[in-house]
Amino acid sequence: MRFYEFESRRIVERAGIPVTDYGFCTSAEEARSIAERIDGPTVVKSQVLTGGRMKAGGVKFADTPAEAAVHAEQILALEISGHMPVGVLVDPRAEVEQEYYAAVLWDGRAKRPMMLFSDMGGIDIEEVAEKHPDHVGRGHLSNLHPISDFQAKQVVAEAGGLTGRELTRATPILTRLAQLQRDFDLTLAEINPLARLADGSFVALDAHMEMEDEAVGRHRSMLAEIGVELDEPRELYEPSEFERNVKAIDEADHRGVIQGKDHGFEGNLGLVIGAGGGSLTLTDAVRSQGGKPANYAEIGGNPSVSKSKGLAMEVLKKEGVEKIAVMMSIVSNTRVDIVARGVIKACLELGKDPAETITVFRIPGAWEEEGAKILDKYGIEFKDRSTSMWEAAGEAVERIRGDG
Amino acid sequence: MSILLSEDFTFIVQGITGREAVNLTRECLDYGSKVVGGVTPGRRGREVHGVPVFDTVAQAVENHGSAIDGSVVTVPPAFTKDAVFEAIENGIGLVVVVTERIPRRDVAQMVELASERGARIIGPNCLGVIAPGVGKMGGIGGPARDAAKAYAPGPVGVMSRSGGMTTEISSSLTAAGLGVSTAVSIGGDAIIGSTYAELMPLFEADEGTKAIVIYTEPGGRMEAELVDWRSEHDSRLPIVAFMAGKFMDDEEMQGMSFGHAGTIVEGAEDSATQKIARLEQAGIPVVERIDEIPGAVKEKLGAGAGA
């Protein structure tokens, strides 16, 4: 789960990391009063879950509260890459002496969290790491043993040779960020820039936090405290009707799992496919042979007839989809006969001839003899494991082309 | 020959009274594996297909009278870490974690404890391990009859991030007359107990294994780790790879994950295209078609025999 900037600031603030005297609001009037309280130049920032705010005009500078209100009005109405802001953040314009980068994220290869610190903040860290490797400090953390200040200190000291008050002031901030990453299952805990102000104090000017979806359930009280409502959608994009419908069918019945996605797919061949790795393999196989999938799908576990039917119907209801391919890698849990019944029912209920609509049925494995019998009744050829996944996908592509 | 499992390998099933666990217990027993106990807190005294159920792993070990080699953990995500800790602290050396949707921190903690205690974890989010004709640990391959059909003994070691594709690939190796030494469903999560590179030394030491097949996906740096391992060790084993999920490299798919949680691409290096390039560069052919795997393996084996 991704957090808005104002939420990320609340998270770091709770952890004892200094932040500016910012305010979050949803109206121009509130923006004016926050700017009045700040009593100085401000920055008004759109709160959206997407990058490129600055370029899109979602970040504006104001010298007076009246100006802040005007900016807030405009930004609140400004859509950025398909996202409407949930509000604006009004921030004092700080006098920054130096910008730093601080982050803690997972290093999958080491299977441990990794601290990153740089004295070249405010810019893309990957670029800094590539061009100025001596300005980036790194250090891994245990998952079991307590996090200690010296570990953060080592990382800070390694970044461009920081010492003096810079070192002693930045160290506890990185330690707290590391603790935060661990305590709240953050897949990314980043402060960029972390700023040193004219008076030598450090403050987080922007923060970017992401929490692992699987762990959201165990952090309800912290989330409630910072004002996150759990039923808010936090998707990368707005789910389509197809995606919403498949999800609803899946949730209505606990047996088996079906998933469907069609974001980025615009083809004419409907895919009723599974399981996890099988779906990836089959989607590639269709595309590599010139086919155009209308969607991605996954059948997993042992879904009921009505659930299999539901997925096939939703695929067939998609605009421009006349035919489907029903394919899976060898199954041991999913029953071939149940999927066969489901997809045939879907065709019949939509008034379509199953033999015409189902371009290929290739699901080898559990209950395949029974499945083959059912398919045979409707004039559909059952493909067992002697037809490879690549060949099955190719046949589906051929059949849809033949109709072209 | 095989890795991880042997004829007299003993294991328990934690969470044995769950529906899927009952099935996999049946399958493993039918396949000839030695399931010596099960654990579900509060259910001591029951039996699952003749396997005694205990409240604790310690009770299962005591009942068995000597150390138990392995455990299959199939409990809900919130309880998995504790179950794995319990297995490791009771001297179990090989833990197969079937459960999916476990937060990464919990997985990392299990893995770290295992490494401190000298234990090994396979998974999470996996179907387990099968050594054809020797035994199977987990739901891999399904019922014993189906498992026997897809998995014949042979010279190829299989490692796969997808449980289902482990069987699909092994079945094609069996049909081609090659067969499998051991197949490991390594799990589909971002952090897993045993990566390709971490299992390679075991295959290397197994005389029965003559070649390796890996099934891989976008996300993570496991393939780079394998390439590094190969360049650092003078491995005798040729490797053939298959990459699924190439469509995820499309612009519209950025930031999305498909199939398994671990397919989330967190940097350009994690993409299918870059992984394929890296593997090919290291002399590991990445076949385009899934059905080209047996042929590519035969080619490698033939070349090895001629050398």
Summarised one tens digit per residue, pLDDT across range B250-264 is 988 888 889 888 888
Touching check for A215 and chain B: CB below 8 Å?
yes
pLDDT score of A233: 65
Instruction: Name residues 290-329 of chain A within 8 A of B (Cβ).
Output: 296, 298, 328-329
Residue B175 in this model has a pLDDT that exceeds 90: yes
User: Closest to B220 (Cβ–Cβ): which among A108, A143, A328?
Assistant: A108
- pLDDT beyond 50 at A315: yes
pLDDT value at residue A125: 86
| Calpha distance B156→B178 (Å, rounded) | 7
Q: Which of B111, B126, B290 to mutate to test the interface with A (most CBs of A within 10 A)?
A: B290
**Which residues of B participate in catalysis according to the annotation?**
260
Q: What is the 3-state secondary structure (H, E, C) of B125-184?
A: CCCEEEECCCEEECCCCCCHHHHHHHCCEEEEEEEECCHHHHHHHHHHHHHCCCCEEEEE
What is the pLDDT at residue A164?
Answer: 94
CA distance B36 to chain A (A): 24
Least Cα distance to A30 among A19, A40, A44, A51 occurs for A44
Cβ–Cβ gap A333/B101 under 8 Å: no
Span A245-300, pLDDT tens digits: 999 999 998 889 999 999 999 999 999 999 999 999 999 999 999 999 999 999 99
Of A111, A218, A328, which is closest to B108 when you measure between CB atoms?
Answer: A111
Nearest to A205 by CA among A25, A20, A63, A12: A20
β-strands A186-197, A96-107 pairing: antiparallel
Query: How far B159 CA sits from the closest chain A CA (Å)?
Result: 13
Q: Which pLDDT value is given to residue B306?
A: 41
B143 interaction partners in chain A (CB closer than 8 Å): 332, 366
A404 pLDDT exceeds 80?
A: no
The partner residue sitting opposite A109, judged by closest CB among B105, B108, B225, is B225
Output the pTM of the full model. Answer: 0.94
SS3 for A188? strand
Q: How many CB atoms are located within 10 Å of the residue B43 CB? A: 14
Q: Which of B101, B112, B244 sits opposite A214 (nearest CB)?
A: B101
pLDDT confidence bin for B307, thresholds 50/70/90: very low
Backbone angles phi, psi at A329, to 5 degrees: -70, 165
CA A82 to chain centre: 15
B188–A276: do the CB atoms touch at under 8 Å? yes
B98-144: pLDDT as tens digits: 999 999 999 999 999 999 999 999 999 999 999 999 999 999 999 99
pLDDT of residue A337: 97
pLDDT in tens, B264-305: 877 788 899 999 999 999 999 999 999 999 999 999 998 755
Confidence of residue A212 (pLDDT cuts 50, 70, 90): very high
Verify whether the Cβ–Cβ distance B112 to A109 is below 8 Å: no
Question: How many angstroms separate the CA of residue A20 from the nearest CA in chain B?
Answer: 30
pLDDT score for A403:
63
A62-71, A125-134, A279-288: lowest mean pLDDT where? A125-134
- Mean per-residue pLDDT for B45-55? 98
Q: What integer pLDDT is reported at residue A73 of this predicted model?
A: 97
Place of tokens 């059909």: B149
Q: Do B146 and A281 touch (CB under 8 A)?
A: no
Best of A112, A143, A298 to mutate (most B CBs within 10 Å, chain B): A143
Q: A392 φ, ψ to 5°?
A: -60, -45
Whole-number Å distance between alpha carbons of A362 and A380: 11
* A284–B contact, CB cutoff 8 A: yes
Tell whether the model's pLDDT for residue A82 goes beyond 90.
Answer: no
pLDDT above 50 for B30: yes
B168/A288 CB distance under 8 A: no
A8–chain B nearest CA distance, Å: 20
Is residue A146 predicted with pLDDT exceeding 50? Answer: yes
- In tens, the pLDDT along A319-345 reads 999 999 999 999 998 999 999 999 999
The yes-or-no verdict on residue B189 having pLDDT over 60 is yes
Per-residue pLDDT, A126: 84
A193 upstream amide cis, omega within 30 of 0: yes
